[in-house]
Structures are given as C-alpha cells and as structure tokens.
C-alpha cells in the first residue's frame, strides 16, 4: 500500500505510466503534449496486434484531435454509417441512418481494429517509446516523487504515477484495495473476418439472452461480437469449440450471422468475461492516479470504454500541465471525470441487463418499447454520451 504524502508542490516534469493499452498510450501522448515526459511501462513483451474491433464515437475523436493524434484514422477507417437495433429475426427496431453524427457533433463515429488505434498512438508518441516486459509490482511516494518498482528489479522515479493497467489493475489494488472487478453474468465473443460488407447492415441484434453486432471495417473486413450468459469462471476448450459455440448460439438468428461466423478463422475468435466495477471515488491519492479501465471499467453496451480512457487522458494532461501542486491536480482530474464516467458505467450496465432478458413476453415488451422510443429521446440520450467534449 502506498500512503499519500501531505505536501506535493512543484510542477510535474515526468510521469510513470503503467500500461500501454489505449488508455496508457493516450495518456502518454497527452502528457508529452503538455510538456511532461512520459515513462511508459508495459507488462507484455511485445505490442502484438491484440483485440478486435472498436467504435470510436465523436467524443473520442474530439479528444484525439485535441492531442493531435490519429488524424489519419478519421479518413482511413470505416464510418459507422447507417445502423441500428434489430431483433434476432432481423426486424429493424431502431434505425440510425439519420443520426448525422458529423453534422450534430462535429465528428463522425468510426469503426476500426484496436491495433490500428494502437499504431496511431505509438506514432504520435514518438520519439518516446514504451518499455516492454516490465510489470509494476508496487510503488512508494513521498513529498518529492514516486518510485515505481517492477518485477525485473527495475526502479523508476517520476513526479506522478498513472495506473492505466486495465481491469485487473495492480495500481488500483495498491491504491484502493477494493478487490476484483464485478462479473456481469455474460461473456462476449469478438472477431474480425473478411466478408463482403455490401451484404451487411451494420447493427446490433437483440434476441433471447444475447446480442450480436455486425460492423464493417475498411478494406473488406468485418468486425462482429456476440454476448452469451455464462456462469462465472466457465471456460471453453479452445478456438474450435469456441467458434462452434458461437455458431450454435446464433444458429436461429437472421442472416448473414452464421455465414459471418463460419468465415472467421477459429483462432481469431476472442472470448472475454464481461466485467465492470461499481463507481468509486478515491482513484487519485497524492501523486498517483488511475485512468481508463483501471479507474472505471464498464460493460461494452455503449461502446465507450476506450472512448472514456481517451477523454481521461486529455483531462489528466490538462489538469497536470500547468499545476503547481501535483496532488491537487490529480484530485481535480478525478473530480472532473468521476460523475461522467460513473453515469456511463451505470447506463452500460442497465442496457446490459436489458439485453440479457430471456422471457419471450419480456422480450416482446422490450422490443415494442425500443421501437416506439421517439427519435428525439434517442438523440438526447446519445448526445449526452457522444456529444461531450473533454
Ligand atoms: C466485447 C468488448 C467490446 C468493446 N467495444 C468497445 C468499443 O466499441 N468502443 C470503446 O471505446 N471501447 C470498447 N470496449 C472497451 C475497451 O476495449 C476498453 O475499455 C479499453 O481497451 C481499455 O483500455 P485501457 O488502456 O484502460 O486498458 P487495457 O487495454 O486493458 O490496457 C492495460 C494495459 O496494461 C498492461 N498491464 C496490466 N498490468 C500491468 C502491470 N502491472 N505493469 C505493466 N503493465 C500492465 C496490460 O498488459 C495492458 O496492455 C470493448 C470491450 C469489450 C470487452
């Protein structure tokens, strides 16, 4: 456990960033732009292209513009375009054809592979580079700085420590000791495959207990995801069985879901437990703070986990950039981010619960409600999340 010092005056010149996921890389870029040298440490031995697709909404693209990162993504990635919510039989409940995100919010929504975002952030970070194969074990802080200690015996001193180390964050454990994340009761399968996107309506389909999403990427690729209720700790026996489970789960759903899953290499199908955490304050203590999934993991139903990490990075750098007192700046960062991220965590969880309903009667009532939701209400709800500028 690290106790926070009572005096922390003096500008931050160096920041130890733990984790080189989307949150850690964005924080590093934003801090570098604010004149603070980022020292980034990543547990993995390489930054192999992990993950699957991601949607970046206008709020994330505005934040990336602010730190001058990833401009090429806006032109090279697929726009979210028309989409909506459908039933498992393919009936459209809500169409987002007329959302006009760019006109309303000043930026589009794009769909891309996580590795493309990672590459753009690494380019923006140059000449700084993450140190790989370094896993943070613990840290101590005092009036003049933070000492981070890694599993290879390395010790690094900085003015600030940013825990961007994901849902199972070590930094969070050291700061808050509040246990592991909360399992939401279902898993998500995700993959990217080659598929003729012209034959696909970008949409999320909601059926008994599950959701299936289809999102075209650029260059003839398609990102898909599916959710399925599962007991905590259940595992599958490997890629072949995993793909087979997806096929069985969605066999009775509308076309071309089965064809899309069949076109996917079994080894490319990822499986995640869906988790979040009840929002809790206290992520900034003295010279240490949290960012992204380490601070506020959320279920994926609003497609905002990475977007919120990107917003965090911009606000963190803004708070630290000109501050004369590091602890005060980190408290200001947390207080500017807490309520927004807490609302999104809760909303994602509520949508997740709705999406897991299995009773045919309840599903019919849900579908009727979704179908009748006035466009203005849908837009207001969307605007609160994606129309925000960090
Ligand atoms: C099914 C699904 C769909 C999603 N869809 C979307 C979407 O459409 N849009 C969106 O915005 N978000 C989406 N998300 C959420 C998004 O993927 C995450 O919120 C985001 O990637 C979190 O980034 P992060 O940097 O905080 O954490 P991570 O990406 O988990 O990165 C943490 C990094 O820290 C490293 N690390 C861990 N411990 C240590 C340690 N002790 N020392 C050093 N390094 C360490 C890890 O190796 C990792 O590289 C989705 C998530 C899921 C599960």
What are the pLDDT tens digits along the chain (390 aa)?
A: 557 886 677 888 999 999 999 999 999 999 999 999 999 999 999 987 777 999 999 999 999 999 999 999 999 999 887 778 899 999 988 887 656 778 889 998 999 999 999 999 999 999 999 999 999 999 999 999 999 999 999 999 999 999 999 999 999 999 999 999 999 999 999 999 999 877 787 889 999 999 999 999 999 999 999 999 998 888 888 899 999 999 999 999 999 999 999 999 999 999 999 999 999 999 999 999 999 999 999 999 999 999 999 999 999 999 999 899 999 999 999 999 999 999 999 999 999 998 888 888 889 998 888 888 877 777 788 888 998 999
Q: Hunting for tokens 């160096």 — which residue is that?
A: 14
Choosing from 16, 17, 22, 27 the residue with most ligand 1 atoms within 8 A of its CB, the one to mutate for a pocket test is 22
pLDDT of residue 196: 86
* Cβ neighbours of residue 141 closer than 8 Å, sequence gap 6 or more: 2, 3, 4, 5, 147, 161, 286, 287, 288
Q: How far is the CA of 225 from the centre of ligand 1 (A)?
A: 16
pTM: 0.95
> Does residue 58 have its Cβ closer than 6 Å to ligand 1?
no
pLDDT of residue 99: 65
Kindly give the pairing relationship between strand 92-95 and strand 145-150: unpaired
Helix (H, G, I), strand (E, B) or coil at 19: coil
pLDDT of residue 218: 92
What element of type H or E holds 16? strand 14-18
> Whose C-alpha lies nearest to ligand 1, atom 38?
165
Q: How far is the CA of 245 from the centre of ligand 1 (A)?
A: 25
Which of 89, 63, 82, 86 lies closest to 74, judged by CA? 63
> Whose C-alpha lies nearest to ligand 1, atom 19?
305
pLDDT of residue 7: 67
> Does residue 309 have its Cβ closer than 6 Å to ligand 1?
yes
Q: Hunting for tokens 């139903």 — which residue is that?
A: 301
The 3-state DSSP composition of the chain as helix, strand, coil percent (nearest 5) reads 40, 25, 35
> Does residue 130 have its Cβ closer than 6 Å to ligand 1?
no
> Does residue 276 have its Cβ closer than 6 Å to ligand 1?
no
pLDDT of residue 376: 75
What is d(CA 250, CA 247) in angstroms, rounded to the nearest whole number? 5
> Does residue 300 have its Cβ closer than 6 Å to ligand 1?
yes
> Does residue 171 have its Cβ closer than 6 Å to ligand 1?
no
For the chain, which residues make up each domain, given as ranges? 14-181+276-386
> Does residue 210 have its Cβ closer than 6 Å to ligand 1?
no
Q: How far is the CA of 293 from the centre of ligand 1 (A)?
A: 6
CATH number of 14-181+276-386: 3.50.50.60
Which of 148, 169, 166 lies closest to 157, judged by CA? 148
| Atom nearest to 165 CA in ligand 1 | 34
Q: How far is the CA of 316 from the centre of ligand 1 (A)?
A: 18
What is d(CA 160, CA 136) in angstroms, rounded to the nearest whole number? 14
Q: Tokens representing 105? A: 């919010």
Q: How far is the CA of 213 from the centre of ligand 1 (A)?
A: 19
> Does residue 272 have its Cβ closer than 6 Å to ligand 1?
yes
Choosing from 18, 21, 292 the residue with most ligand 1 atoms within 8 A of its CB, the one to mutate for a pocket test is 21
| 97 touches 112 (CB < 8 A) | no
* Cβ neighbours of residue 212 closer than 8 Å, sequence gap 6 or more: 88, 204, 205, 224, 225, 226, 227, 250, 253, 257
* Cβ neighbours of residue 370 closer than 8 Å, sequence gap 6 or more: 85, 93, 94, 206
């Amino acid at each position: 456990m690290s106790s926070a010092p009572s005096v922390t005056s003096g500008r931050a010149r160096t920041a130890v960033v733990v984790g080189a996921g989307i949150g850690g890389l964005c924080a590093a870029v934003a801090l570098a732009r604010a004149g603070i040298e980022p020292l980034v440490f990543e547990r993995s031995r390489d930054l192999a292209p992990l993950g699957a697709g991601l949607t970046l909404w206008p709020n994330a693209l505005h934040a990336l513009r602010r730190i001058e990162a990833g401009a090429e993504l806006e032109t090279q990635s697929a726009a979210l375009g028309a989409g909506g919510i459908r039933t498992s039989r393919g009936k459209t409940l809500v169409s987002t054809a007329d959302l006009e995100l760019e006109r309303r919010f000043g930026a589009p929504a794009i769909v891309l592979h996580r590795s493309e975002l990672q590459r753009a952030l690494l380019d923006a970070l140059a000449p700084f580079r993450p140190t790989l194969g370094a896993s943070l074990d613990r840290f101590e802080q005092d009036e003049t700085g933070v000492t981070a200690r890694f599993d290879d015996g390395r010790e690094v001193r900085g003015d600030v420590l940013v825990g961007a180390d994901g849902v199972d964050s070590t930094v969070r454990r050291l700061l808050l000791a509040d246990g592991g994340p909360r399992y939401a009761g279902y898993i998500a399968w995700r993959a990217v495959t080659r598929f003729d996107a012209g034959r696909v309506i970008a949409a999320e389909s909601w059926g008994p207990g599950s959701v299936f999403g289809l999102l075209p990427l650029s260059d003839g690729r398609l990102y898909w995801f599916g959710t399925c209720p599962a007991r905590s700790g259940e595992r599958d026996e490997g890629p072949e069985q995993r793909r087979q489970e997806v096929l069985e789960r969605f066999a009775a759903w509308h076309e071309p879901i089965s064809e899309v899953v069949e076109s996917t290499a079994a080894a490319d199908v990822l499986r995640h437990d869906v988790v979040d955490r009840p929002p809790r304050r206290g992520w900034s203590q003295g010279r240490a703070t949290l960012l992204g999934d380490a601070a506020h993991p959320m279920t994926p139903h609003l497609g905002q986990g990475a977007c919120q990490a990107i917003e965090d990075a911009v606000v963190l750098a803004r708070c630290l950039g000109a501050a004369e007192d590091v602890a005060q700046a980190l408290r200001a960062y947390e207080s500017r981010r807490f309520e927004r991220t807490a609302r999104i965590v809760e909303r994602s969880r509520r949508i997740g619960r709705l999406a897991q309903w299995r009773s045919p009667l309840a599903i019919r009532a849900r579908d009727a409600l979704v179908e009748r939701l006035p466009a203005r209400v849908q837009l207001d709800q969307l605007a609160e999340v994606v129309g925000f500028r960090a």
